[in-house]
Amino acid sequence: MVEGYRADELVLSVKDERALAAAQGDDDVEAITMRAKALPTVETTVPAEEPDEAKKDGTLVGTIWLGLSAESGEYTIEFLKAGKLRYSFLVTENNVSVQKAVSGTWHQLGNDVLISIAEYSSLQGTLEGDVIKGEGSNIEGLKWNFKLLKKK
């Protein structure tokens, strides 16, 4: 089954009418049809299980990365499906450390990764194995270098 159709029910056609008109009569059309029927049957199957999220949406989906910033301390970035992410960090409120999280988006093209955090800052980096490194900036104009390590 291929998308609801059986392979033997599929019809081959010629898109360009000029190519069909170039055939030398009914015998040539019949010969083309017979050759198509003589081709081996290709059997396709649908996997029983859904593929890993990382294979569907890119290599980063479902992974968590650790970073360290002089200003905000340790933070994590979790790459979620559909280009969403969660940026988590610790803040001190009333002498108690509290974990906070904000949302963001990400996009990956090959080894290049673009991260946008809460429409406030962006990170543009390169994936090299278990490390993403590059340059960050925010809406206030500050720029810095960053390095993320994949959490295992």
Mean of the per-residue pLDDT values of the chain = 75
Domain span at residue 40?
A: 1-46
Residues 62, 136, single domain; the answer is yes
Q: Are residues 60 and 3 in the same domain?
A: no
pLDDT at 58: 56
In angstroms, rounded to a whole number, what is the distance separating the alpha carbons of residues 4 and 1? 6
Q: Are residues 113 and 88 in the same domain?
A: yes
Share of the chain above pLDDT 90, in %: 51
**H, E, C per residue of 93-149:** ECCEEEEEEEEEEEEEECCEEEEEECCCEEEEEEEECCEEEEEEEECCCCEEEEEEE
Q: Answer yes or no: do 33 and 102 share one domain.
A: no
Q: How does pLDDT run across 37-54, given as a tens digit for each residue?
A: 444 444 434 444 444 444
Q: Are residues 57 and 42 in the same domain?
A: no
Say how many C-beta atoms besides its own lie within 10 A of residue 125's C-beta. Answer: 20
137 to 64, 75, 130: CA distances (angstroms): 21, 16, 22
Residue 62 and residue 41 share a domain: no
Can you read off the two tokens belonging to residue 104?
């963001």
95 and 144 belong to one structural domain? yes
Q: What is the pLDDT of residue 37?
A: 45
Which whole number is the average pLDDT over 12-25? 45
The stretch 110-133 carries a mean pLDDT of 96
For the segment 58-99, what is each residue's pLDDT rounded down to a tens digit?
589 999 999 998 877 899 999 999 999 999 999 888 999 899
41 plus 116 within the same structural domain: no
Q: What percent of the chain has pLDDT over 70?
A: 62
User: Which pLDDT band, with edges at 50, 70 and 90, does 36 fall under?
Assistant: very low
